[in-house]
Structure 1
Amino acid sequence: MEMRKFQVVSPMSRLDQGLVQQWPEFSRSRIQKLIHQGHVHINQRVQTDKNQPLRPGDWVQLHIPAPEPVDTPAQPIPLEILYEDGQLLILNKPAGLVVHPAPGHWDGTLVNALLAHCPDFLAMGDKQRPGIVHRLDKDTTGVMVVAKTALALQHLQQQIQTRRMGREYLGLIHGRLPQENGTISAPIGRHPHQRQKMAVIPSGRPAVTHWRVLESCGVYSWVHFRLETGRTHQIRVHLSHLGHPLVGDPVYSSSRTLTQKLPGQALHAWRLSLAHPATGEGLTVTAPLPAHLVGLLTYLGFKNHQPMAIPAQNDPPANRDSPPQ
């Protein structure tokens, strides 16, 4: 059983709302079920009333039961492996591939493919997410690292939490940003009305995205992003908040221009920089752009597809808080 806790800073009218704001990866219904089952404590006392208000200074604990075991079949799904050794595997995830089994996607996922490629992943503990260090959205392409041993999983997750792993993206956006370089620091949490979406909200968790415009062409811009935090849908939410959503984003953009040329949002995890969990040596891997993005950029007249002049981000800024992974 996993235990999480936080101290209330400002008054919250309802316990369930406070927990969803604190941990937006959980749905309201999931939180309410955990409260009803007695898995939430306030100041070390069980609280089963979802309407219980929270006061500044209250300590809230959430006890998350271990998931029921679910058999995840190995499936021989082709993988584009960029680097592999005995500790880890780095791959180029295609669009349309879900990372791990979840409602609506119980098979045909990256985890199913990994179990076929390396059956020892089953010994990693979590049968639904064995070896998964971080995630990419279904239609986001690009570089991902997967742990092959418990030691590697621990070290890589720690690098994520302490922001020592560099994660860089390339994206095509609507319009032109006001500056060539910039940073957006805006808290992200669950959308107050559309629970499947994230949004910039005052009660959200800190989120920081650095950006650099590589090229602008007409009413579009090709942009390099570097994550300082790792919130759900972070780049997509931040760009939408700025009024320059990603081209093809079915959730955060109202424009349907060019969507017929894309499987989803025009976002690619371009480069990953980390310390090898066994040796401590720096390892930087770049994922080539998918054909559909190269074709779209060429169609629009862009020339600078690969920003090779940007130095690898091996040493991200010091930790401010631990992003949920």
Structure 2
Amino acid sequence: MLTDELYEETMDTQTYQIIVSSHQKSLRLDRFIAESIPRISRTRVQLLIENGHILRNGRVIDKASLKVTPGDILTISIPQRRPLAVEPEMIPLQIVYEDDDLIVINKPPDMVVHPAAGNRTGTLVNALAHYCTTLSTAGGYYRPGIIHRLDKDTSGTIIAAKNDVAHNEMARKFEHRKIEKYYLALVWGSITPSSGVILDPIGRDPSNRKKFAVVPDGKDAETRYKVLADLDFLSLVRLRIITGRTHQIRVHMAYSGHPVLGDSTYGGRTKKLKSLKPRQREKAVQVLDCIHRQALHSYEMFFDHPRTGEPIHVRSNLPRDMCEVLEILGYNGESVC
């Protein structure tokens, strides 16, 4: 859903004239107009009033709270709006793979994938709009090229399409789970057993609708994990998500008692510090100074090319913040940085 912030007004207007009937009950002006004109919100009506676009009996209205009365003649002039153009921006991209159909990026942490309210610029889409000659349009006006997404603070592999044929085929692959997606995460504690499957259903957290949680009536969710390294009070884990629920890895790991390091939403920031030994706590504070987000990274994907059918494997090495944590903890296993 596009918000007012992503529109601009044009010089064209559409005018409505409404005569309040003799049977109309007393209602606030903004509510009455919103109920009388299709596809207009009370918030938009209030903005029209603020800008002097609504008349009652020929006089400009300045209060949305005024009550309508039978016989009132309301004149509403609505400036027509169009979406603001996505602004191409020269933002450096770490390109993992590219051909005529696809481009795969190693997204840095703290980058939003596409424009939305509060984030019109500085997004991956703004960067792609500058770099690519063409991008798919199937994802919508503000999501050219975008087939799937990553949270702002999750780094790593993300695929974009350069044309609608590739976009639609890749979207089908995601829908039918034909793309193998693997993540790397640093989580609190030592995990036993060292590999397994988490099948707990995920839905809205009933106590906080902005969060997700394991709930009895949630959607099926499957996360497969394997511990790559036990790092004293942390573990480096490779995870494969079979389903794609919002915050799936973060919710599943928190529910299992091993929240993702740095994840303040799901208990991965400082909540675990009190359970550590003094020696561990000192090092944990040092680690937390390196990580200011959830230590979760989209590491690699396997899929068949949408046009040629050729098997494709793409991998994005860990960003600096997670590598610094591994250095502090003396990790000397498989190279992931």
Task: Tell me if structure 2 keeps the 8 A contact 1:182–1:211.
Answer: yes
Are 2:302 and 1:288 aligned?
Answer: no
Q: How many Å separate the matches in 1 of 2:195 and 2:298? A: 19
Indicate the larger mover: 134-143 or 249-258.
249-258
Per-residue CA distance 1:11-34 (angstroms, 9 max, x = gap):
xxxxxxxxxxxxxxxxxxxxxx9x
Alignment correspondent of 1:265: 294
The one-letter amino acid paired with 2:255 is H
Q: How many Å separate the matches in 1 of 2:129 and 2:172? A: 23
- Provide closer, same or farther for how the CA distance between residues 123 and 163 of structure 1 changes in structure 2, counting only shifts above 3 A: closer
Task: Tell me if structure 1 keeps the 8 A contact 2:97–2:104.
Answer: yes
Question: Root-mean-square deviation (CA), in Å?
Answer: 2.2
1:180 to 194, 197, 201: 194
- Three-state SS of the structure 1 residue aligned to 2:253 is helix
Task: Tell me if structure 2 keeps the 8 A contact 1:134–1:145.
Answer: yes
What residue ranges of structure 1 are gaps of 5+ in the alignment?
A: 2-32, 39-66, 309-325
- Three-state SS of the structure 2 residue aligned to 1:251 is helix
Alignment correspondent of 2:230: 216
Task: Tell me if structure 2 keeps the 8 A contact 1:87–1:149.
Answer: yes
Alignment correspondent of 1:110: 124
The number of residue pairs the alignment matches comes to: 246
Q: TM-score, normalised by structure 1?
A: 0.71
Q: 1:305 Cα deviation (Å)?
A: 4.6
Alignment correspondent of 1:162: 176
Q: 1:120 Cα deviation (Å)?
A: 2.3
The one-letter amino acid paired with 1:266 is A
Per-residue CA distance 1:95-138 (angstroms, 9 max, x = gap):
11000112221211001111111142275561111111111111
Q: How many Å separate the matches in 1 of 2:137 and 2:215? A: 39
What residue ranges of structure 2 are gaps of 5+ in the alignment?
A: 2-33, 40-80, 271-284
Runs (4+) of structure 1 moved beyond 4 Å? Answer: 122-125
Q: How many Å separate the matches in 2 of 1:183 and 1:254? A: 21
Task: Tell me if structure 2 keeps the 8 A contact 1:73–1:115.
Answer: yes
Task: Tell me if structure 2 keeps the 8 A contact 1:214–1:307.
Answer: no
Larger Rg: 2
- Three-state SS of the structure 1 residue aligned to 2:292 is coil
- Provide closer, same or farther for how the CA distance between residues 307 and 96 of structure 1 changes in structure 2, counting only shifts above 3 A: closer
- Three-state SS of the structure 2 residue aligned to 1:239 is helix
**Identical-residue share of aligned pairs (%):** 40
Q: How many Å separate the matches in 2 of 1:68 and 1:300? A: 52
Task: Tell me if structure 2 keeps the 8 A contact 1:70–1:127.
Answer: no
Larger RCO (alpha carbons 8 Å, 6+ apart): 1
- Provide closer, same or farther for how the CA distance between residues 123 and 136 of structure 1 changes in structure 2, counting only shifts above 3 A: closer
Are 2:167 and 1:138 aligned?
Answer: no
Q: 1:197 Cα deviation (Å)?
A: 0.9
Per-residue CA distance 1:229-287 (angstroms, 9 max, x = gap):
11111100100011100111121115335332113011111111111011011100111
The one-letter amino acid paired with 1:259 is L
The one-letter amino acid paired with 1:106 is R
Indicate the larger mover: 257-266 or 162-171.
257-266
The one-letter amino acid paired with 2:185 is G
